[in-house]
Amino acid sequence: MDNLKTYSNPLNERYASKEMQYIFSPHKKFTTWRKLWIALAEAEKELGLNITDEQIDEMKRNIENIDFDYAKEKEKEFRHDVMAHVHTFGKACPKAMPIIHLGATSAFVGDNTDLIVMKEAAELTLKKLINVINNLKTFALKYKNIPTLGFTHFQPAQLTTVGKRACLWIQDLMLDAGDLIFQIDELRFRGVKGTTGTQASFLKLFENDHEKVKKLDQLVSQKLGFDKVLKITGQTYTRKQDSRILKTLAGVAESAHKMATDIRLLQNMKEIEEPFEKKQIGSSAMAYKRNPMRTERICSLSRHIIALSTNPYMTHAVQWFERTLDDSAGRRISIPESFLTADAILDLLYNVTDGLVVYEKMIEKHVMEELPFMATENIIMEAVKKGASRQEMHEVIRENSMKAASKVKNEGLENNLLNMLAADKRIPLDSDEINNLLYPSDFTGRSESQVEDFINNEVEPLINKYKSFIGMDVDIKV
């Protein structure tokens, strides 16, 4: 029961996946520290320092053997987390103890681990983003030719199609995927730089051999999976790398928020609904309700990421000279929470896009309520073909449109504009001729073709490039 008396982060308890939670776990962090110490020792040995295979093998055998209680005692004693774990690792590896962390500073394990973790988290985020795009691709193709009201200013506008609107969502997420791919590729390792980034300690270890120090930096970075390494650092890697990554996650959040809001509005109109489970309760009081709880949660979480994304900008801005430690506490919160929140959002988006419900009859009903107003331009053109004056027809239709709109708004009646126009003798078209101008598919322009072109030329190449990512299990806890 004691765990119920302390704060528990909802991102862990309710929202983020276990996979993303592990990436930011203490176990992942401290085993990565040990892998960095091993890589450093291996590279130093390869370049001629007096380090034995026995020492390295001992370290490798004890990567997982972490005495967290002992580390906590040492951190309380030293007030220094890295030295606490150096001693904890040394306790498990007495032969290797003299060469653990040789020549390094705390940022060697701290910063490089942060970069390793962010890269893995970004790759998991990309995988989930690709799966959401793939779901939406299937949806867009299925409904590519279903006419629906377009909206500008949330007022009925020229028709589009259900699939074309989904492509607006896809396009935003495609831009986010491109940004994320770029950031993953461009993320640069801190490497082996020493206390203030000058590599002075390593230059001393290698007796002023600059080439060996440069090779050491390269070797360690490659052992940890990074081909790109920052050539210049202070004590830490530039915190601008944090803001670049987190602004990309904020981009995912803004796209998700826009899409989720559209679905919430469409659910109010009874045109499209997010999945609703058999025993799900929409309201404790109103038993009939089907609230868009998942898309609402997406919006809520998205705003959290957008707010968090300002933190790294401010942190980088105040890193005086080679570094200050006022970055540490904020980064411990903003970086993990941004990734955990993005993870939760994408799991929700995957769930929603995998089961969107479309009510075609309701969509058609709304289209036909507004189509008479939208068809007036076509009616004018047909009337002109029969010899009528364009300006006169415009005025006649405007008068009738105002009357029809008044009856809809003030009297709650159905839109009878077409009957009014057919009865108006000034218009040289009968009822059949007017009705023949009212096929919804005639008003959607190139929507269907645009969907096909966009999917074939832009979406499919991305999905094919990352086809190994396709397929994921999502467990929505609440």
User: Residue 284: what pLDDT?
Assistant: 43
Give the angle 454-455-459 at the CA atoms, nearest 5°: 100
pLDDT digits (tens, 9 = 90+) for 176-227: 999 999 999 999 999 999 999 999 999 999 999 999 999 999 999 999 999 9
Structure confidence at residue 63 as a pLDDT band (50, 70, 90): very high
* Predicted local distance difference test score (pLDDT) of residue 438: 84
- Looking at the predicted structure, is the pLDDT value of residue 126 above 90? yes
Distances (CA, A) of 118 to 239, 331, 332: 13, 12, 12
Q: Catalytic amino acids?
A: 153, 283
Average pLDDT value over all residues in the chain: 94
Residue 50 has pLDDT above 90, yes or no: yes
Kindly state the DSSP code that residue 195 receives in the 8-state scheme: S
Please give the structure tokens belonging to residue 376.
Answer: 């007036």
The pLDDT tens digits of the residues spanning 259-279 come to 999 999 999 999 999 987 644
Q: Which amino acid is at 165?
A: R
What secondary structure, in 3-state letters, does 322-359 show?
A: CCCHHHHHHHHHHHHHHHHHHHHHHHHHHHHHCCCEEC
Residue scoring higher pLDDT (412 or 49) = 49
Beta strands at 155-161 and 357-358: parallel, antiparallel or unpaired: unpaired
Read off the tokens for 178.
Answer: 């491109």
464 pLDDT exceeds 70?
A: yes
Mean pLDDT, residues 230-252 taken together: 97
- Domains in the chain (CATH in brackets) are 2-99 (1.10.275.10), 376-437 (1.10.40.30)
**Alpha-carbon separation of residue 330 from 27, 29, 333, 334, 434 (angstroms):** 21, 17, 5, 6, 66
- DSSP 3-state assignment of 272? strand
47 phi and psi, to 5 degrees?
-95, 10
Give residue for tokens 């009738």: 400
Predicted confidence at residue 392, as pLDDT, reads 94
Q: Can you give the pLDDT at residue 285?
A: 46
pLDDT at 437: 86
pLDDT digits (tens, 9 = 90+) for 435-453: 888 899 999 999 999 999 9
In this predicted structure, what is the pLDDT of residue 277?
62
> What's the count of helices (H) and strands (E) in the chain, helices before strands?
21, 4
pLDDT of residue 415: 85
pLDDT by residue (tens digit) across 129-183? 999 999 999 999 999 999 999 999 999 999 999 999 999 999 999 999 999 999 9
Percentage of residues of the chain with pLDDT beyond 70: 97
pLDDT band at 306 (very low <50, low <70, confident <90, very high): very high
Amino acid 283: pLDDT:
45
Length of the chain: 478
66: pLDDT strictly greater than 50: yes
For tokens 């990512």, what's the residue? 469
275: nearest Cα among 289, 260, 292: 292
pLDDT band at residue 288 using 50, 70 and 90 as cut-offs: very low
How confident is the model at residue 374, as a pLDDT?
85
User: What is the rounded distance in angstroms from the CA atom of residue 53 to the CA atom of residue 424?
Assistant: 98
pLDDT of 287 > 70? The answer is: no
Residue 14 has pLDDT above 50, yes or no: yes
Helix H or strand E segment including 193 = none
Residue type for 429, please? L
8 Å CB contact between 157 and 151: yes
Three-state DSSP class for residue 147? strand
